Amino acid sequence: MAAVFWTIIGLIASLVGVLLLFFFGMPYRVRTGGANVVVTEHVDRNAIRREAVHDKLGWLGVLLASLGTVAQIVGAILSAHLAH
């Protein structure tokens, strides 16, 4: 039962992580810092806040995808040990 639990938790975490990465992008992408391409002196505070949120959610996506993979590995190991 524990193996199935870890596998399901891992799959859910990985799915949520990948969806976060899909919607908010990888956290290491180049940020504009709110600067407009045409007018470089203008700083858009909303763009800075939006990029900060996207950055945090991107890192959360990476973390969840990684933890989901680890949980699936734990589930597979538990399943193999129970089979013996």
The secondary element (H helix, E strand) that includes residue 6 is helix 2-24
Give the number of other CB atoms < 10 A from CB of residue 68.
20
Q: How many Å apart are CA 84 and CA 74, to the nearest integer?
A: 16
Q: Which residue has the tokens 């734990």?
A: 74
pLDDT at 26: 79
pLDDT digits (tens, 9 = 90+) for 20-73: 999 988 776 666 666 666 656 778 888 889 888 989 999 999 999 999 999 999
pLDDT at 76: 93
pTM comes to 0.76
